[in-house]
């Protein structure tokens, strides 16, 4: 007999559901708190992607920051409307964007877990099973670097799970609100949600597929499509000088999309092309328990005792799969009009795998429980002890922060004196550098940079062309023995400081950099120049030094460009 337990906020007073629901929220609160503690306990700690998507929002606190900054203007332009609005409101309430980005993962993880519990309980109404599903979800989120980023993709999980929950509850208004929020924070997944609504118009009756006769299904589908299209058009970014979007032909000619490029896409290995990276399905591999999802179809064939409790709402799982794969293939066919194909599978299929894995493990554990009951007391004790050890290995060990939380959770700045030096300079200074450290200066010093590897994104031609030209001009000027060439560069871009790595004038410095070697002709010319004569910058290291550190030297650009 199927269990008659349903998840509803108003029914959480029922003891079993309330207990397991409350227990499921312990993990996201715990891991979020640990991550927050790590982030705020260090003066220079930030998640990697925050450097692109959050730092420019410091303008909400101080409008004088990043004046006429091409990079900051670009990321402000392409950021989703809802994402920008939320950070703006937080800034007006006195919470700086960089601090807000450290707080958000705790909040978003907790919301996602709460809705995950609700969705799981509607598929298999066993509170302990919903808890297992929630544990797998929160482990998956914290072993990857999505929710911890507090960037737009961090919001898709709570919003997507809210959509699934209200869809299963047939709550039309909250479901539509979830779709609207998805458009405002992560539009690609809103298309997956519309795909799910479309698939729900088909029903199987007496072995034949037919269109739904339920008015509510058509109402939800029509409203969902209308909301999505209207909001996408209303909040479409005006790219201006940053556009137009890159075409497929241009992608194929750009080194950034090559196998070793900044945004690798066209991998020659078919398996890697279709399964990994921006071009592939990109299934989640963490935690290992998530792979139990592939056991679910097999377990359902064996008709395990608890399988009879699975509700008809389980059809949601193949709907997520078909919608995700359909949009994945459509994104390939229309490349790159729908952005990169992996955006339509890597997140939604992770949620699918989490739900399926939770159900599969619940069925297995129930079968084990029934088997234990059939053993003699002595045999039960030893078996239970072994099972407890396995459970600890799967659930408790990952709860140790050093083991569990992704290394990508926080990027710790390693040059405090450098950050303090630039933070003490006027807000309108511009820093030029080929060093990897330059990517962190907008975050830790809140000062503008000319170019940096992390910011040369090739998805919009206007932006990419200028960033690529900046990198080529900088690479040329840094290794030029011609003073006039260096002077022209400084005047053209208005550079104030030059950050140099100590080993920057060794040929291996260029040869070992995948990023610099993307500008092959310029990089090779720079190596040849090093062999012929010392560059102007190298000649003026002592004369123009503004700051000397163990790993870096900061030069005053006006001094470098001055007469000999």
Q: Are residues 498 and 447 in the same domain?
A: yes
In angstroms, the CA 294 to CA 296 distance is 6
In a domain, 214, yes or no: yes
Q: How many residues comprise the chain?
A: 564
Within a domain: residue 185? yes
| DSSP structural state of residue 294 | G
Of 407, 432, 448, which residue is a domain's last? 407
The residue from 407, 438, 472 where one domain ends is: 407
Verify that 205 and 344 share a domain, yes or no. Answer: yes
pLDDT given at position 555: 94
Determine the pLDDT at residue 379: 55
Q: What is the pLDDT of residues 423-475, one digit of tens each?
A: 999 999 999 999 999 999 999 999 999 999 999 999 999 999 999 999 999 99
Residue with token string 């310029």: 522
One domain for residues 72 and 149:
yes
pLDDT, residue 229, reads 92
Q: Is residue 259 part of a domain?
A: no
Among 354, 381, 407, identify where a domain stops.
Answer: 407
Q: What is the pLDDT of residue 2?
A: 36
Helices (H), 208-340: 215-234, 248-253, 270-275, 296-301, 316-333
In a domain? residue 262: no
The answer as to whether 453 is a domain residue is yes
Domain assignment present for residue 242? The answer is: no
Domain hosting 383: range is 9-236+267-407
Q: Quick: pLDDT tens for 98-128.
A: 999 999 999 999 999 999 999 999 999 988 8
Q: Is the same domain home to 497 and 387?
A: no
How many Cβ atoms from other residues are within 10 Å of residue 369's Cβ? Answer: 13
pLDDT for res 9:
41
C-alpha span between 97 and 54 (Å, rounded): 7
One domain for residues 358 and 457: no
Which domain CATH number covers 426?
3.40.50
Residues 391 and 469 in one domain: no
The DSSP secondary structure of 430-484, one letter per residue, reads EEEE-SGGGGGHHHHT--EES--GGG---SBHHHHHHHHHHHHHHHHHHT---HH
Q: Is residue 260 part of a domain?
A: no
Residues 364 and 381 in one domain: yes
Regions of the chain where pLDDT drops below 50: 1-12, 402-404, 406-408
Does residue 71 fall inside a structural domain?
Answer: yes
Cis peptide before 287 (omega within 30 of 0): yes
pLDDT (0 to 100) of residue 243: 87
According to the model, what pLDDT value does residue 286 have? Answer: 77
Specify whether 452 is located in the same domain as 534: yes
Question: Into how many domains does the chain fold?
Answer: 2
Whether residues 309 and 419 share a domain: the answer is no
CB 471 within 8 A of CB 539: no
> Do 462 and 494 sit in the same domain of this protein?
yes
Structure tokens at 359: 């159900």
My answer on whether 158 and 205 are in the same domain is yes
- Using the Cα atoms of residue 112, residue 308, residue 285 and residue 132 in order, give the sign of their dihedral: positive
Residues 387 and 517 in one domain: no
């Amino acid at each position: 007999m199927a269990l008659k337990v349903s998840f509803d906020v108003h029914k959480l007073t029922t003891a079993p559901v309330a207990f397991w629901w409350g227990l499921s929220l312990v993990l996201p609160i715990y891991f979020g708190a640990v991550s927050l503690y790590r982030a705020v306990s260090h003066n220079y700690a930030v998640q990697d992607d925050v450097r692109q998507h959050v730092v420019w929002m410091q303008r909400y606190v101080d409008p004088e920051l990043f004046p006429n900054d091409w990079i900051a203007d670009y990321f402000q332009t392409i950021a989703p409307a809802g994402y920008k609005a939320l950070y703006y409101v937080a800034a007006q309430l006195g919470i700086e964007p960089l601090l807000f980005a450290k707080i958000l993962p705790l909040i978003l993880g907790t919301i996602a877990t709460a809705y995950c519990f609700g969705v799981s309980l509607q598929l298999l109404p066993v509170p302990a099973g919903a808890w297992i599903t929630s544990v797998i979800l929160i482990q998956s989120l914290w072993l990857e670097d999505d929710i911890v980023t507090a960037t737009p993709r961090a919001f898709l999980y709570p919003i997507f799970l809210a959509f699934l929950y209200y869809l299963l509850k047939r709550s039309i208004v909250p479901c539509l609100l979830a779709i609207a929020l998805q458009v405002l924070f992560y539009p690609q997944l809103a298309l997956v949600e519309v795909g799910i609504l479309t698939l729900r118009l088909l029903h199987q009756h007496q072995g034949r597929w037919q269109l739904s006769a339920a008015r509510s299904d058509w109402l939800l589908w029509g409203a969902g499509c209308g909301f999505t299209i209207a909001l996408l058009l209303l909040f479409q970014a005006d790219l201006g000088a940053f556009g137009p979007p890159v075409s497929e032909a241009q992608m194929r000619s750009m080194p950034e999309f090559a196998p070793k490029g900044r945004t690798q896409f066209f991998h020659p290995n078919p398996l890697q092309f279709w399964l990994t990276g921006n071009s592939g399905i990109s299934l989640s591999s963490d935690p290992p328990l998530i792979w139990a999802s592939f056991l679910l179809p097999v377990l359902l064939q064996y008709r395990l005792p608890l399988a009879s409790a699975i509700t008809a709402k389980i059809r949601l799982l193949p709907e997520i799969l078909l919608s995700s794969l359909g949009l994945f293939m459509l994104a390939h066919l229309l490349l790159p009009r729908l952005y990169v194909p992996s955006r339509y599978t890597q997140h939604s299929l992770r949620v699918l795998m989490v739900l399926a894995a939770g159900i599969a493990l619940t069925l297995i554990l129930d079968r084990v429980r029934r088997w234990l009951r059939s053993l003699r007391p002595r045999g039960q004790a030893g078996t239970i002890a072994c099972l407890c050890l396995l459970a600890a290995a799967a659930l408790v060990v990952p709860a140790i922060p050093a083991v569990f939380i992704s290394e990508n959770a926080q990027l710790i700045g390693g040059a405090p004196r450098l950050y303090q030096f630039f933070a003490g300079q006027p807000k309108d200074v511009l820093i030029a550098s080929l060093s990897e450290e330059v990517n962190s200066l907008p975050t830790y010093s809140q000062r503008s940079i000319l170019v940096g590897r992390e910011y040369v994104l090739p998805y919009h031609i206007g932006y990419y062309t200028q960033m690529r030209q900046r990198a080529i001009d900088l690479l040329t000027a840094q290794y030029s023995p011609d003073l006039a060439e260096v002077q022209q560069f400084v005047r053209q871009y208005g550079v104030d400081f030059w950050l140099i790595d100590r080993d920057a004038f060794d040929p291996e410095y260029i040869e070992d950099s995948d990023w610099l070697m993307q500008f092959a002709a310029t990089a090779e010319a720079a190596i040849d120049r090093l062999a012929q004569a010392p560059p102007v910058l190298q000649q003026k290291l002592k004369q123009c030094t503004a700051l000397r550190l163990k790993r870096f030297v900061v030069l005053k650009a006006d001094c470098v460009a001055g007469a000999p």
